[in-house]
Amino acid sequence: MGLIAHQLEKAGIATTSISTAKDITKSVRTPRSVFLDFPQGYTTGKVGDQNLTIDIVKAALNLLDATEEEILTTLSYSWGDDDSWKDTVFQIPESGSGATDNRLDRSDLPQYQTDFDLEHAKEKHAGEECLLCLGIDY
Amino acid sequence: MEANRQPPINYIERITATYEALGYDQYQWRQTASPPSFAERVKPVSESKIGMIATGGVYNTGQVAFHYRDDASYRAIPSSTETSELRATHFAYDLTGAREDINVVFPIEAMRALDAEGQIGSLAENFLTCMGGIYSQRRVEEELAPQLVERYLEEEVDAVLLVPV
């Protein structure tokens, strides 16, 4: 996201971001960021908690008015009563099977959430070019 | 018993060690040496047109989904889209939360709520989505990022909320 932020800023469009990976955000140096100490996949909150998401988004947007200096500020929300969820994230177990890769196989084919989506997309793209899918390299 | 509190995860260190243990090539983490540029802000958020770019692999039903091998394309999702029409697909993160409530990686409802409250001047016509985990920095730099910039220049967006996963 750093490269995208830098190009937007150079083009005159200001950016602010929300990060769950403090070290990566520090390394890429996005201009304005809030850090939320939540697991990957929950960048803007918890399932069903709209007020929390609004507060997180507001905190990020506030940075646009607050500063023109590089900033990475930490939000005070916690994921759970303790941080034991961090014990298994990209950790090599001390005994047993060794490191694992949980990522899914690489594939050049579109990966739909549901079969219905595949049919729906086929139908929509049967005749004309879809103006909402610009830049698709298929 | 005292709660188990830990500092933020050092992802670069942990992922590097994991890949090494798996025998993969070393990933070149991006490091920016110089301070970032800042666009000139002329209006407060409450008078600005605000866009959103999210990398969580979100698409609108009816759109072609992303694929899982360095997909450098993007989707434009109208900011008025019904939340129930949104989907998520990705090879590298746990989609459980996102598929239950897309707002955890694509806070479209929060953006609309802040717009309705007048805290945001107006919303971009479209929010833009792409895949994270594009291993070629050159492709992000030369293909994806310029397309996103061009799109938001066309939509005359003043500022953008970035939501990586």
pLDDT digits (tens, 9 = 90+) for A106-118: 888 889 998 888 8
Question: What residues of chain B lie within 8 A of the CB of A59, using their CB?
Answer: none
pLDDT along chain B (165 residues), means of 10: 85 90 84 89 96 96 90 95 96 94 98 98 98 84 95 98 96
Query: Where would I find the H helices in B26-107?
Result: 96-100
* A10 touches B at CB < 8 Å: yes
**For residues A95 and B12, which has the higher predicted lDDT (pLDDT)?**
B12
For an interface test with B, which of A47, A70, A120, A131 has the most B Cβ atoms less than 10 Å from its Cβ? Answer: A47
Q: How far apart are CA A78 and CA A36, in angstroms?
A: 8
Which candidate, B116, B46, B83, B92, places its Cα nearest to that of A90? Answer: B92
Which candidate, A71, A66, A36, A117, places its Cα nearest to that of B57? Answer: A117
The pLDDT score that the predictor gives to residue B1 is: 59
The yes-or-no verdict on residue A138 having pLDDT over 80 is: no
The pLDDT score that the predictor gives to residue A106 is: 81
Tell me the pLDDT of chain A averaged across its residues: 88
**Coil, helix or strand at residue B162:** strand
The yes-or-no verdict on residue A94 having pLDDT over 80 is: no
Q: How far apart are CA A112 and CA B9, in angstroms?
A: 31
Split at pLDDT 50, 70, 90, the class of A135 is: very low
Percent of chain A with pLDDT over 70: 88
Per the domain annotation, does B27 fall within a domain? no
The token pair at A104 is: 């899914």
Contact B163 A90 (CB under 8 A): no
Question: What residues of chain A lie within 8 A of the CB of B60, using their CB?
Answer: 132
Per the domain annotation, does B81 fall within a domain? yes
Split at pLDDT 50, 70, 90, the class of A126 is: low
Percent of chain A with pLDDT over 90: 62
* A88 touches B at CB < 8 Å: no
pLDDT digits (tens, 9 = 90+) for A63-84: 999 988 999 999 999 999 999 9
Count CB pairs under 8 A between chains A and B. Answer: 313
Per the domain annotation, does B102 fall within a domain? yes
The yes-or-no verdict on residue A129 having pLDDT over 80 is: no
Question: What residues of chain B lie within 8 A of the CB of A29, using their CB?
Answer: 32, 35-36
Q: How far apart are CA B81 and CA A103, in angstroms?
A: 29
| Residue in chain B lying closest to A55 (CA) | B110
Per the domain annotation, does B22 fall within a domain? no
The yes-or-no verdict on residue A122 having pLDDT over 60 is: yes
Total number of domains in chain B: 1
Per the domain annotation, does B88 fall within a domain? yes
Contact B132 A40 (CB under 8 A): no
The pLDDT score that the predictor gives to residue A134 is: 47
The pLDDT score that the predictor gives to residue A95 is: 64
* A43 touches B at CB < 8 Å: yes
The yes-or-no verdict on residue A20 having pLDDT over 80 is: yes
Within 8 A by CB and 6+ apart from B90, the residues are B56, B57, B66, B68, B131, B132, B133, B165
Which of A21, A29, A54 is opposite residue B113, by nearest beta carbon? A54
pLDDT digits (tens, 9 = 90+) for B26-55: 888 888 888 899 999 989 999 999 999 999
Domain hosting residue B104, numbered range? 45-163
